[in-house]
Amino acid sequence: MAAPGRDPSQSPRHGPLGRNAQRRHEASGPTVSGRHLGVAPPPKPLRYTTPAYPFHHLVSDGVWEVRTDRGPGSPGSGVRELREVGAAGRLTPELRAALRREPSLLGRMARVLLDLNFPPSLHGDLCEAVGLELEPTETEQFSAVRRRRDPRMREQVLTAYEYQCAFCGYDGRIGTVPVGLEAAHVRWWAFDGPDDVDNGLCLCSLHHKLFDKGVLGIGDGHRMLVSQRFVGHSPAAREHVIALAGRPLIGPQPGARPVAAVHRSWHACQVFHGSPRPATTV
């Protein structure tokens, strides 16, 4: 078991049944993984917490155990006190045994955590960051018990925005089939975002990813927000991201419901990074 506090980005990747002892950074759930990827994982805590907080409190969930130089048990949720006693954590023996008996359980658990905490556009990044590859067969039989998305939403949102990206106007097709256009939830589906047109945007793949990572947002008057924390020096970054600041969204068409204020506010508070850049001048 390794002591907590080391940068997880410096640790080697390992398989699901390899090393079970995880540093607190690696085992603290979506909050740490999200920050590591530059994702703002909602909901934001009501008070400040550290990566040590879930490392300590996972013990009460019955899936995690902590040992220190003094023996079993966590000394508390503070980073300093955990480091001082050489605290290290790992999955409980029962869960480790269950994973050995049924390796596919890991994939099903991971899929549930992803569905409950992050939009699909970020699932691949999160899995890659921890070295986890999810096979479809690992999750198919469990999907029946998960909350179902409304399959009509994509068509309704793309129609409302006339099959063009609300940020850049991209409208590519192969024949009659749209390519690279997606229906994005403004309030994440994983956090009770409804499958309604007024919670959706038609976005190209690039701007969907930037929107879900908090680089882009929607401000008053349905104008585009660009985070001051975004840095890009290439002409492409300036043209496709920075230059969007202050521009009005493209769409929806007359008669279609625009993004509701309550969903815009949620995204601005829970996902968008920092302060917006001032509007660009043409």
Distance, CA of 118 to CA of 38 (rounded, Å): 13
Give the per-residue pLDDT at 247.
97
Q: Counting Cβ atoms within 10 Å, is residue 155 exposed (0-12), middle (13-18) or buried (19+)?
A: exposed
What tokens appear for 266 in the block?
A: 């949620």
Going 240 to 241 to 245 to 247, the CA torsion angle's sign is positive
pLDDT tens for the chain, 282 residues long, are 334 443 333 332 233 323 333 333 333 333 333 333 344 444 444 445 677 877 888 888 888 899 899 888 888 888 888 888 998 988 899 988 988 898 888 888 888 888 777 888 888 778 877 777 776 544 444 444 456 778 899 999 999 999 999 999 999 999 999 999 999 999 998 888 999 999 999 999 999 999 999 999 999 999 999 999 999 999 999 999 999 999 999 999 999 999 999 999 999 999 999 999 999 765
Give the per-residue pLDDT at 38.
45
Please choose, from the candidates 194, 186, 188, the residue with its C-alpha nearest in 3D space to the C-alpha of residue 161.
Answer: 186
Direct distance between the N- and C-terminal alpha carbons of the chain, in angstroms, rounded to an integer: 57
User: How far is C-alpha 4 from the geometric centre of its chain's CA atoms?
Assistant: 24
> Which pairs with CB-CB distance under 8 Å and at least 24 residues apart come from 170-175?
170/204
| Cβ–Cβ under 8 Å, residues 272 and 228 | no
Give the per-residue pLDDT at 202.
98
| Cβ–Cβ under 8 Å, residues 256 and 197 | yes
Distance, CA of 172 to CA of 138 (rounded, Å): 33
Q: What is the pTM of this model?
A: 0.62
Please choose, from the candidates 212, 207, 195, the residue with its C-alpha nearest in 3D space to the C-alpha of residue 122.
Answer: 212
Give the per-residue pLDDT at 154.
93
3-state secondary structure the chain: CCCCCCCHHHCCCCCCCCCCEECCCCCCCHHHHHHHCCCCCCCCCCCCCCCHHHHHHHHHHCCEEEEECCEECCCCCCHHHHHHCCCEEEECHHHHHHHHHCCHHHHHHHHHHHHHHCCHHHHHHHHHHCCCCCCHHHHHHHHHHCCCCCCCHHHHHHHHCCCCCCCCCCCCEECCEECCEEEEECCCHHHCCCCCHHHEEEEEHHHHHHHHCCCEEECHHHEEEEECCCCCCCHHHHHHCHHHCCCECCCCCCCCCCCCHHHHHHHHHHCCCCCECCCCCC
